[in-house]
């Protein structure tokens, strides 16, 4: 008998591998989605963030009461649920949640608690982040989804249930672009577009694609899988008046039913653009029959090795067609490396699906394999001391940070070294930040989130501490220098007094007369402290300092700069 989790895994696997039958007509089974999900989230955030936010949107806005209010605004989710239903791999969930929190996409209402021997634990509770600020499509100005009326679109639930959890980000970007510019665009009188003319350049700019080849592949995949259709081919021409953008639309299920055979638009791969592209510059709509293969495709010319690798991929769960496609589009060494890393990733669902994403997206080594690389590093020490201070542990840290946290902290430590130099250690810095996070009204249990939220304030704080310490050290150094060389300065003044007494007795007599008047005034003053002042007045040092003022001779620091053979050096 299959468990619910096993049944869910099997259904997800079969759903991802089966042919998509087109989106159902958006008269029901839709999610009233903020347009900012397409304008801000999909173009600017990684796939894990997109999947988590889409999952919360689906659970929040996809289930509303008769008045249109969400039945559940705060969603309790576990790592297993995000892995199995949202399609986020377990080792990427924490970083995706941190990025979503830092990007003001979601809010953590209740932090999760791990399951222990005498504690059943508790899943974290999250909710979408809403903002009362004016609607914006600019990422730097985004502070949460617009909570006012309008600026939303009824999106078929299949986009959230079937496409986002199973497809790469490039396909999500292409389908999202078509959605946003077709049914997501409301024309006059409340009508919605059913199709839209889009050039490669427009999709590339809107969805922030990294390369034109990735965009072409994503469009081709989206059409092959029945997510979108190309209603009308585009045309590229050197003459601006002859150029025409291709027209795309969502692929609706009733459209496929009405077609006995797939229309020719599915076979077309014509690139359309109103900007600069790398297509042949003739006026034909057909692409040249001469194809230039990608670098990694032309390099895989070892039939024996390819056959052996294909058998390995088929044994993991790939179809023969998919195995050949992966070998054709990616280098053999890269595929073998990802296969070797697969056991360390511990795939909870289909190993083939996880391996395919790892190959196509060029994933780094798994966390388990990177642990030894960061052990003992500055970032590792910073992270473990952060968590110790955050937990109130003043002794030796107990917990070990994850490799991702250590790598993230290492970059921050290098920034600190650039600002503070050697004034401090990663141990001290980590504990200081941990204490700052602990003192927050809403503490940040995640190191990454703490650095994002408190990093700049922490740098300012450490700069102030260093500035105060530097100032105090400068004062101490100046006092020490003056104490050492003050006798030499007094001796120099005494020599100036003797020289005047011998060479200019009349001038010196004026100084002596001034001293006598001051002595008489002190003697006649009945105040009790005058007697103590009189005792100091009669000393040689008091007379020499009075002589300096009488003639306007340099004070200690002026003498130190101009006359002292070993003046004070501030840098020292």
Range name among 269-273, 381-385, 419-423, 537-541 with the lowest pLDDT average? 269-273
Neighbours of 520 (CB within 10 A): 10
pLDDT at 50: 95
Q: The tokens of 497 are what?
A: 């007094």
Q: Which residue has the tokens 């969603």?
A: 75
Confidence check: pLDDT of 140 > 80:
yes
Other Cβ atoms within 10 Å of 34 Cβ, number:
22
End-to-end CA distance of the chain: 78
Half-sphere exposure of 454 (CA within 13 A, CB side): 26
Helix (H) or strand (E) holding 214: helix 212-224
pLDDT surpasses 90 at 81:
no
The per-residue pLDDT for 417 is 81
Residue 349 pLDDT = 58
The better pLDDT of the pair 272, 38 is held by: 38
- Integer Cα distance of 465 and 471 in angstroms: 10
Lowest-confidence segment of 102-106, 432-436, 440-444 by average pLDDT: 440-444
Residue 193, pLDDT above cutoff 50: yes
Q: What mean pLDDT is predicted for residues 443-468?
A: 78
Which pTM was predicted?
0.45
pLDDT at 360: 86
Could you tell me if 399 and 387 are in contact, meaning their C-beta atoms sit under 8 angstroms apart?
A: yes
Range of lowest pLDDT (90-99, 166-175, 532-541)? 532-541
Confidence of residue 298 (pLDDT cuts 50, 70, 90): very low
Tokens of 284: 């034909």
* Calpha distance 103→41 (Å, rounded): 9
Backbone phi, then psi, for 569, in 5-degree steps? -110, 105
Confidence of residue 239 (pLDDT cuts 50, 70, 90): low
3-state secondary structure of 275: coil
Q: What is the mean pLDDT of residues 419-429?
A: 77
Q: Averaged over 134-150, what is the pLDDT?
A: 86
Res 289: pLDDT: 37
Mean pLDDT (whole number) for 553-560: 92
Residue 48: which pLDDT band, with cuts at 50, 70 and 90?
very high
Backbone φ/ψ region at 424: left (φ over 0), alpha (ψ -120 to 50), beta? left
Residue 226 tokens read as 């029945």
pLDDT-derived band of residue 46, with 50, 70 and 90 as boundaries? very high
Instruction: Tell me what percent of the residues of the chain surpass a pLDDT of 70.
Output: 78
Average pLDDT on 374-397 reads: 82
Average pLDDT for residues 185-190, to the nearest whole number? 61
Looking at residue 172, what is its pLDDT? 95
Average pLDDT, the chain: 79
């Amino acid at each position: 008998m299959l468990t619910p989790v096993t049944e869910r895994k099997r259904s997800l696997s079969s759903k991802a591998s089966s042919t998509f039958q087109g989106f159902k007509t958006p008269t029901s089974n839709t999610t009233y989605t903020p347009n900012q999900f397409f304008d801000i989230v999909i173009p600017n955030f990684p796939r894990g963030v997109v999947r988590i936010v889409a999952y919360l949107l689906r659970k929040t806005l996809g289930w509303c009461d008769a008045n249109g209010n969400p039945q559940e605004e705060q969603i309790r989710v576990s790592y297993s649920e995000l892995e199995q239903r949202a399609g986020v791999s377990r080792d990427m969930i924490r970083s995706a949640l941190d990025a979503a929190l830092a990007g003001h996409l979601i809010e953590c209402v209740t932090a999760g608690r791990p399951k222990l021997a005498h504690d059943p634990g508790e899943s974290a509770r999250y909710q979408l982040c809403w903002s009362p600020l004016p609607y914006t499509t600019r990422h730097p100005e985004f502070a949460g989804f617009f909570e006012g009326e309008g600026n939303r679109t009824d999106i078929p639930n299949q986009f959230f249930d079937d496409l986002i959890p199973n497809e790469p980000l490039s396909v999500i970007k292409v389908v999202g672009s078509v959605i946003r510019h077709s049914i997501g665009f409301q024309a006059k009188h409340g009508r919605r577009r059913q199709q839209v003319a889009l050039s490669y350049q427009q999709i590339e700019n809107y969805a922030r694609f990294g390369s034109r080849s990735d965009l072409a592949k994503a469009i081709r995949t989206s059409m092959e899988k029945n997510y979108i259709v190309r209603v009308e081919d585009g045309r590229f021409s050197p003459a601006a008046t002859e150029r025409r953008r291709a027209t795309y639309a969502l692929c609706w299920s009733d459209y496929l039913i009405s077609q006995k055979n797939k229309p020719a638009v599915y076979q077309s791969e014509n690139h359309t653009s109103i900007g600069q592209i790398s297509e042949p510059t003739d006026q034909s709509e057909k692409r040249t029959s001469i194809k230039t293969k990608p670098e990694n495709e032309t390099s895989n010319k070892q039939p024996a090795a390819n056959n052996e690798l294909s058998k390995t991929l088929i044994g993991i769960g790939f179809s023969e067609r998919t195995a050949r496609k992966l070998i054709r589009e990616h280098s053999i060494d890269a595929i073998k490396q990802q296969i070797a890393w697969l056991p360390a990733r511990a795939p909870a669902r289909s190993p083939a699906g996880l391996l395919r994403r790892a190959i196509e997206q060029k994933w780094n080594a798994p966390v388990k394999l990177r642990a030894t690389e960061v052990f003992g590093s500055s970032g590792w020490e910073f992270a473990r001391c952060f968590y110790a201070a955050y937990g109130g542990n003043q002794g030796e840290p107990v917990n070990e940070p994850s490799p991702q946290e250590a790598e993230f902290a290492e970059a921050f430590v290098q920034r600190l070294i650039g600002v503070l130099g050697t004034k401090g250690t990663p141990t001290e810095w980590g504990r200081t930040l941990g204490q700052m996070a602990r003192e927050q009204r809403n503490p940040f249990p995640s190191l990454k989130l703490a650095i994002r939220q408190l990093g700049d304030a922490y740098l300012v704080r450490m700069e102030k501490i260093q500035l105060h310490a530097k100032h105090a050290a400068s004062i101490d150094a100046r006092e020490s220098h003056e104490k050492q060389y003050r006798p030499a300065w007094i001796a120099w003044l005494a020599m100036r007094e003797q020289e005047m007494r011998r060479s200019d007795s009349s001038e010196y007599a004026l100084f002596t007369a001034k001293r006598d008047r001051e002595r008489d005034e002190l003697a006649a003053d009945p105040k009790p402290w005058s007697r103590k002042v009189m005792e100091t007045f009669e000393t040689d040092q008091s007379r020499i300092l009075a002589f300096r003022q009488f003639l306007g001779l340099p004070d200690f620091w002026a003498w130190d700069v101009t006359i002292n053979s070993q003046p004070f050096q501030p840098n020292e």
